[in-house]
A and B are shown apart, each in its own frame.
Chain A
Amino acid sequence: MTLVKTQVNRRSFLKTSALAGGGLMIGFSWGCNPTETERPAPKEWFEMNAFLSIADNGQVTIMSPNPEIGQNVKTSMPMIIAEELDIKWEDVIVKQAPLNSTAYTRQVAGGSQSIRQGWAGLRMVGATARQLMINTAAKEWGVDASTLTTQEGVVLNGNKKLSYAELASKAVGQEVPEEVPLKDPKNFSIIGKSKINVDLEEIITGKPLFGVDYKTEGMVYAAVLRPPSFGTKLKSFDDSDARKVNGVLDIVTFDDNENDRSKEIRGEKIAVIATNTWAAFKGKKALKAQWQKSDKLENTNDHDRELNRLLDTSNSESVKRADGNVRRAFANADGTLERTYEAPFLPHNTLEPMNFFANVTDDKVELVGPIQTPDWTHGRVAGLLKRDRSQISLEMTRMGGGFGRRLYGDFALEAAAISDKIRKPVKVQFSREDDMTAGTYRPASKYKIRAAYKDGKVTGYHLTGAGVRMGNATRQNWFPAGGIENYKIESHNLDSNITTGAWRAPITNFLAIAEQSFFDELAQEMQVDAVQLRLDILERAKNNPVGEIDYEPEKMIGVINLAAEKGNWSNPESGVSKGFSCYYSHNTYVAEVADVSSQGGQPKITKMTAAVDCGIVVNPEAAINQVQGGVVDGIGHAMYGDFSFVDGTPQANNFDKFRLIRTKEAPEVDVHFVESLNDPTGLGEPSLPPAGGALANAIAGATGRRVYKIPFTKQDIAMG
């Protein structure tokens, strides 16, 4: 048992009332336990804090603070609270919390950080409410609180019992304990046991849950015509045909630019307002717009040339890290290897296209929809509309995928600007074509990697990265940092007017493929085992690191050994080519083995084995799902991901032109977790970066051909 100060979240206990009714909730809707029929309906709810209400029938409502994009936090975050509160999971009703920066901290879905950063606070929320129950019972019985214990929603005093349901009304307004005990993780009974997605019933029966499903009385639909190319803006338009479309109510221009520079190059957009989505889409197609050049019109071919030039450039600004003397290491080497890797832009392609609801009136602004960054977006809408933030409410819906795209609230700003102009509740709905061509893309990038080796050891390593509007394209303090004596990392940024941003496992989604492919080829050149080569570097990083490192070599060694064992690395099945890869990202360590076998003359990926160290696994079956999904995503975009620009215009706009991985191409993914009592780390992203490298290395073994470019299919690697 650990005693912790309650300071971190005392404010949510003491100052806020996230739910209406000042601490008492009546007539609460039934949430997600519709199958429960035997228990009497609750008459009264008692709010313990912004996260928790306890009903007089023993049910507990837990507000899940963070946005849900499919990473399962709407289930796993409440599990953490329920664990420390010491209640039965069957008694829990989960509700999505609205944006409330006073009551909750970091309401963000990004960086795989919800569980890691929420962990301590959520445990304390549960533990504090449990202590409140104990203290209230102690008063009732006139005994010392330290003599009492709890079990599944009941406070125990020898043979005497008081349930949380009985205590809840008396606990409201009680003094919040200064210090509360936390459970020993060895005694967890909810955490570590698989719990089904709390929205599952609604998902499989088709109940409204997502942004696209949201609808209010009097709501109209808007389809937006945006500039077709980066570097163009609206010149003029003719809407006479569009206005003839049945259901079209109005056509307006609007300005959602947040600054003068943006307005200068992007200009205004056109919104087709209609009584339904189809009419809005049809009306938009009937618009005749003329566009004018407002900025440079960029081409993938030009980016290609510029990135190649940058890869051969070195200056004081490009160097992110330099250990030892790389030049000397290469001069004295037994052998060297140099390879260049390249990857295109990528759209996110969440299956639910972007959308958002806004209702702007004189005294308030309502925002509802799928958003990974509710707080940031709330502030941006306030700035755009020049409103005080206190006038604006934001409610988060479940999201049909995020992958980083819904970090950027451009769609919410559009909805707010349109509603401000037409003064009606409005839903902006992107078509798939809108979604793919008005994106915030994964930046196109290239890496040149060189290594020097001598006497069977890697003695020098020099990586140069360059990306389009990418910032630092490297992770200079991650593997193999610390494990190689002479080590240099450089990065260049190519400016662009194409909007780029975070795409699941930003930077590392391709950096890992490049590096892990390189190490495989390097091992082949050096005639050493590909796993042993990585272990040798890690042993050095662990025992006698060169400079500072931002990862723990021992944990990386742990997942490498586990993946090698479970994936039969040393003892491959007949006819199977194995590819190995490992990567550290989002505080989590993952190693993967890809199995590729030749079927009818074509290579086919038949299996992936993943070993993961993410600390305590909160919800095991859902965690397996995350890892499988990340691996499939990584393989899919490595194989097929292709997106380019000609004169600022995206060259794919729907799934007939952009290929996503489908079921026949998705291998079985065998997932293993390192047993751990460490605090949990990220899981939504870390299994993705290693996948493409493992596949590339297995393809090399199966076909004798190395792939250096995404998508692999562009190099005539056909997969069965």
Chain B
Amino acid sequence: MKSYSIKINGQNKSVEADPDTPMLWVLRDELDMKGTKFGCGIGQCGACTIHLDGNAVRSCQIPVSAVSGSSITTIEGLSEKGDHPLQKAWKQHDVPQCGYCQAGQIMNAAALLNRNNSPSHEEIEDATHGNICRCGTYNKIKAAITTAAQEV
């Protein structure tokens, strides 16, 4: 076990973990931040998407030993009051069915809007193609991202 100091949602956290432990499990089991979800463990579904220095990454593929000096944002820290334009748009469109993938969808879309605040339909599809919604709420996800883009 080693000790790591990680900046998460603007706060420095220190955790004890094996170097190969994916950030997903550090967040969920060590820090009790349950918003980042486990879906596949191989970076194929996007449920575990977080921001590493503003970029969307799959936290199941990022070992804790690789994040020192970086800044991490999770769904819990996307906004203070749950009022990020995407969160508001998710509410307006009542997007979720089961809801399990949605935190990952929102984090992934937030990174898109950070670099492109007026994405075309194709750009939205390209940027979100890696995030699986097993319930098939893709119509609503795309509509909500379009709505949110008008606000940022």
Contacts and interface: CB of A to CB of B under 8 A. Distances in A.
Contacts of B42: 432, 654-656
Contacts of A203: 96, 99, 102-103
A204 B106 contact: yes
Given A201-B82, A215-B32, A351-B39, A398 B136 contact: no
A199 B99 contact: yes
A630 to B, nearest CB: 7
Interface in B33-63: 33-42, 44-45, 47
Interface in A589-607: none
A225 to B, nearest CB: 16
Interface stretch (A381-389, A577-585, A662-670): A662-670
Interface stretch (A122-130, A205-213, A543-551): A205-213
A621 B91 CA distance: 12
Contacts of B140: 625, 628
A71 interface: yes
Contacts of A611: none
A76 to B, nearest CB: 12
A119 interface: no
Contact of A351 (B35, B82, B95, B132): B132
Interface string B72-91: 00111010001000010011
Contacts of A403: 134
- Of the candidates A208, A630, A662, the one having the most CB atoms from chain B within 10 angstroms of its own CB is A662
A692 to B, nearest CB: 13
Q: Classify the interface of chain B: helix, strand, loop or mixed.
A: loop
Contact of B74 (A206, A213, A278, A662): A206
Given A401-B98, A628-B136, A208 B34 contact: yes
A351 B98 contact: yes
A486 interface: no
A257 to B, nearest CB: 28
Contacts of B30: 276
Contacts of B18: 246-247, 278-279
A632 interface: yes
B133 to A, nearest CB: 8
Contacts of B125: 663-664
A197 B35 contact: no
Interface centre among A276, A351, A625, A654 (most CB of B within 10 A): A351
Contacts of B47: 351
A196 B91 contact: yes
Interface in A633-659: 633, 636, 654-656
Interface residues of B, number: 58
A194 interface: yes
A70 interface: yes
Interface bin, chain A: 35 or more
Interface in A184-234: 194, 196-197, 199-201, 203-210, 212-213, 215, 221
A204 B137 contact: no
Nearest to A667: B139
Given A401-B98, A401-B100, A622-B94, A656 B37 contact: no
A403 B133 CA distance: 13
A194 B140 CA distance: 15
A351 B41 CA distance: 11
A181 interface: no
Given A210-B100, A400-B37, A655 B22 contact: no
B93 to A, nearest CB: 8
Contacts of B138: 632, 662-663, 666
B130 to A, nearest CB: 8
Given A205-B78, A350-B100, A664-B125, 5 more contacts: A70-B135, A278-B21, A622-B94, A662-B129, A663-B131
Nearest 4 pairs of A and B residues by beta carbon = A206-B35, A70-B98, A400-B100, A632-B136
12 contacts: A203-B102, A206-B34, A206-B103, A276-B29, A276-B30, A350-B100, A351-B98, A400-B37, A401-B100, A401-B135, A432-B40, A625-B95
Interface of A: 69-72, 194, 196-197, 199-201, 203-210, 212-213, 215, 221, 246-247, 276-279, 281, 349-353, 398-403, 431-433, 621-622, 625-626, 628-633, 636, 654-656, 660-664, 666, 668-669
